[in-house]
Amino acid sequence: MSESGTEPNPEEMWDPQVARWSDPEGDYVLPHALRSLPQPWDESDWRRVAELPRTDERLAEARHVLTVLLEDQALAPQMPQPPSPGLLWHVWEEFHQAVGESMPRPSQVTWSGVDELVRAWRDRPHSYPLHRHVVRHVEAAMLAMIPLLRDDIADSVFRWLALDPDPGRFAPWAVDLAERCVIEDIGADPAVELLGAMGSPEARAALERLSVKPGGPANWENAEAAQNTLFDLGSEGTSGL
């Protein structure tokens, strides 16, 4: 972030050209798909999610949540990318944290609440240029929050499933959802870990498909994670001989 008397960096001058959107259901900022998720999945509160019992009802909810996160296009908005050096992402995350503290559930995030936070940031005695950029272009910060929330929620679902003593019992439906999430880069790390923990032929086949690079279905980083998981599974099988 530039100091007083120095030339502003490209991010400080960047206009993301994101206009404020409206929701037909009210003063909501976040898409209906996020607002309609069952509690506590919608809050990305891992402490609460981890304590959920693995009942048929909760498993059905987990499956529903992952399906919504994958299929609702409103959760993958066209997001303009800030110019180098990319520091604005960190300031957006700081603003997202403030949003989460004051409005923890997606259904509570309103433009009036966001504007109140903007006024609080504007009145702070010391702020950097990128903080002032968020104040001027808060719509861009809130647009960036949508895919980040989607990723956090998927992350918590996969981590919760992996806590089960026998995650392989979820294979009939969870393998497909986990593979699709890795391809879409939604909660990818815990999705790969769940596939590894399942130990089923279907899960291994999914990992093999995901591990293909270059030109495979997953990005390079996620393909690398799938490769490493397959290596670990092979090492475990060898050590058991």
Cα distance from N-terminal residue to C-terminal residue, the chain: 56
The amino acid that residue 206 corresponds to is A
Res 241: pLDDT: 37
Res 154: pLDDT: 97
Q: Please state the pTM of the whole predicted model.
A: 0.91
Distance of CA 193 to the CA centre of its chain: 16
- Per the document, the length of the chain is 241
H helical segments located in the chain: 10-13, 32-35, 46-50, 56-71, 88-102, 111-122, 129-136, 138-162, 171-184, 188-198, 201-210, 220-239
Res 240: pLDDT: 42
Distance of CA 138 to the CA centre of its chain: 19
Alpha carbons 79 and 151: distance in angstroms, whole number: 15
Res 9: pLDDT: 85
Q: In this structure, how many other beta carbons lie within 10 angstroms of the beta carbon of residue 202?
A: 16
Res 6: pLDDT: 63
- Whether the CB-CB separation of 190 and 226 falls below 8 Å is answered with no
Alpha carbons 180 and 110: distance in angstroms, whole number: 31
Alpha carbons 204 and 231: distance in angstroms, whole number: 11
Q: In this structure, how many other beta carbons lie within 10 angstroms of the beta carbon of residue 16?
A: 18
Alpha carbons 212 and 214: distance in angstroms, whole number: 6
- Per-residue pLDDT in tens (0 to 9) along the chain, 241 residues: 454 456 778 999 999 999 999 999 999 999 999 999 999 999 878 999 999 999 999 999 999 999 999 999 999 999 999 999 899 999 999 999 999 999 999 999 999 999 999 999 998 887 789 999 999 999 999 999 999 999 999 999 999 999 999 999 999 899 999 999 999 999 999 999 999 999 899 999 999 999 999 999 999 999 999 999 999 998 765 444 3
Res 234: pLDDT: 85
